[in-house]
Structures are given as C-alpha cells and as structure tokens.
Amino acid sequence: MATQLWASRAASYLRISTIHRAFATVAKDLKYAESHEWVRVDGSSATIGITDHAQDHLGDVVYVELPEVGASVNQFGSFGAVESVKATSDINSPVSGKVVEVNEKLDSSPALINGSPYQEGWIIKVEMNNPDELKSLMDPEQYSNFCDEEDAKH
C-alpha cells in the first residue's frame, strides 16, 4: 500500500513538473518563427537562436554551422545548421539584415543550445534592415499554441 501511495505521489509530481516545463519553454520577451527560431530585438539589433521546443526535438546538439560576420541573411532564409545526435536541421533567420556577431562559444560548446537556448545558446546577432518584418512573427502565446498544435499532429 505504501509503495502504491508513493508511486501515485511520484506520478502526480511528474505531471506537475511536465506542465511547468511546458510553460517554461517559451520566453515572454521574444518573437518566434514557424521554423522554431526566436528573435530578441534591441533597437535595430536582433539576437537569434533556436527555441527550447526545437532543441528538445533535436536532442543533444553536437555541432553548429555558423555564418561569417558580414554575411547577409533574409527573413525565413537558411543561414546555418544545427547537427544533433538525431538529425541535421537548417537554421532560418526570422529577420533580414547583416550578421554582426556569431556566438563563437558554440564552436567548442554546441550543447549550450540544449542547456540555455534563450541565453548562452544564442546563435547570431543581426543588424536588421527591415524591422517591419517582426510583424509577421508570432508572439509567445501564438508560438506556444503553434507548438501544441504541431505536437498533437505527431
């Protein structure tokens, strides 16, 4: 009887932490693309990475292909790739502009994308040339709903 009670407590704890995790996966101050990249805007500067949802589906990231500083990126166009133990996926830019910085820490520590997708695991910084493009991106609530619908299909 005591084992059964412990198991049901453990199961209820796991359900609570799973629900909590679902809410924690979408950062509130970002915009999102359907291809699971995020953008944090500061003036005309945009920091770009892949979402917690994307890294979760990819599994352990083992390599990140980064563009050169000075390269141009186009909204929804590919600028690099993330290789994981499961697959390789293109990384698309949520906005157009010029790459002004790349996260060189990812060369030696690609797992930063798994451990800190919204902070330490950012991928590039872009000087935007058309801030109006942000209007075509999802806000956190829209992105959260998009992920729920996508997961329900699989």
Residue 20 lies in a domain: no
26: in domain: no
pLDDT in tens, 16-52: 333 333 444 688 889 999 999 999 999 999 999 999 9
End-to-end Cα spacing for the chain = 37
Per residue in 84-133, pLDDT (tens digit) is: 998 899 999 999 999 999 999 999 999 999 999 999 999 999 999 999 99
Total domains, the chain: 1
Any domain includes 10: no
Residue 105 lies in a domain: yes
Q: Give the domain extent around 53.
A: 31-152
76 part of a folded domain: yes
The reported pTM is: 0.82
Classify residue 25: in a domain, yes or no: no
Look at residue 77 and tell me if it is in a domain.
yes
pLDDT value of position 137: 98
Q: CATH code at 73? A: 2.40.50.100
Q: CA torsion 26→13→86→119, rounded to 10°?
A: 30
Tokens of 63: 């390599």
| Residue 4: band (very low, low, confident or very high) from pLDDT cuts 50, 70, 90 | very low
Closest CA to 117 of 33, 60, 26, 49: 49
- Is the pLDDT at 15 greater than 70? The verdict is no
- Under the banding of pLDDT at 50, 70 and 90, the label for residue 79 is very high
Beta strand 45-50 with 37-42 is antiparallel
Q: Are 32 and 52 in contact (CB under 8 A)?
A: no
